[in-house]
Amino acid sequence: EFAAQQRPPMQRLREPGNFVRYCKLDGKLRAAYEVEPAPLGEGRYSRVYGATHRATGARRAIKTADRQGAWTQYVDLGMECPGRLAIHEADILRRLDHPNVIRILEVYEETKSVHLVLELCEGGDVLERILVSNGRLAESDIARLFIQMLFAVWHLHQNSIVHRDLKLENWLIEEEGGPLRVKLIDFGLSCTWDWDESGLLSRSCGTTSYMAPEVADRRK
């Protein structure tokens, strides 16, 4: 019954999957949102802040990446700065529309930074949930999580997108104390791929401890 409720329509979405508002003027983000000073979390190339939309009171997450400074990690992918990686992530996310994939709402490109306005998930990540549960989850909860994860990845592949950094930390729980609903985040390393023409992906990227051995060893 749960699987039937979660199953998305069996068709490829027309691009873009989401309407995303873009703004390229400095200062507009702070005019639209009251941004909390302390970050909710930090990643390899960005910081995430909680924010409140001034006009509606809606709570959002704002992912901020710098457009300046030294950056060598992904230059070979054409990502000459963290801000460029954020713009790439926004371009990927706008193609997707699924209840288990984080939704992007707005993009603010400023002189020094790029800001992605996203849905806010307040239940922590799946790894945190497992750790606070002493490493054990109920079988019913595991089944719920697994079904949602499978359908999210299926949706990506239906839209010719490969995430390339699937791990427990990149699945956020929608609400604290609510139903166990998760959303996939962090699409900075994702790529588009034509399943019929591109052949196998060969670049090793992502989190080493979650990689398949053949990916870590760069085997085809």
Model confidence pLDDT, tens digit, residues 72-96: 555 555 555 678 889 999 999 999 9
Residue whose entry in the numeric block shows the structure tokens 């960005």: 46
Co-location of 148 and 183 in the same domain: yes
Residue 196 annotated to the active site = no
Q: Has residue 48 been placed in a domain?
A: yes
Residue whose entry in the numeric block shows the structure tokens 């400095």: 26
Q: What is the CATH number of the domain that holds 93?
A: 3.30.200.20
Q: 144 with 151: CB under 8 angstroms? A: no
Asked whether residue 15 carries a pLDDT value surpassing 90, the answer given is no
- Would you state the pLDDT for residue 166? 95
Co-location of 202 and 154 in the same domain: yes
- Please give the tally of structural domains in the chain: 2
Mean pLDDT of the residues in the chain: 84
- Would you state the pLDDT for residue 85? 87
In angstroms, the first-to-last Cα distance of the chain is 38
Q: What is the CATH number of the domain that holds 146?
A: 1.10.510.10
Co-location of 29 and 102 in the same domain: yes
Of the candidates 165, 186, 194, 196, the residue annotated as catalytic is 165
Asked whether residue 171 carries a pLDDT value surpassing 70, the answer given is yes
Co-location of 144 and 111 in the same domain: no
Co-location of 104 and 185 in the same domain: no
Q: 148 with 181: CB under 8 angstroms? A: yes
**Which DSSP letter does residue 135 get?**
T
pLDDT per position as a tens digit, 125-156: 999 999 999 989 999 999 999 999 999 999 99
Q: Has residue 14 been placed in a domain?
A: no
Residue span of the structural domain in which 168 resides: 124-216
Q: Indicate the range of 24-28, 50-54, 59-63 predicted with least confidence.
A: 24-28
Asked whether residue 217 carries a pLDDT value surpassing 90, the answer given is no
Q: Has 63 been labeled as part of a binding site?
A: yes
User: Is 212 exposed, middle or buried, given 0-12, 13-18 or 19+ CB atoms closer than 10 A?
Assistant: exposed
Q: Which of 84, 118, 152 is the last residue of a domain?
A: 118
Cis preceding linkage at 179, omega within 30: no
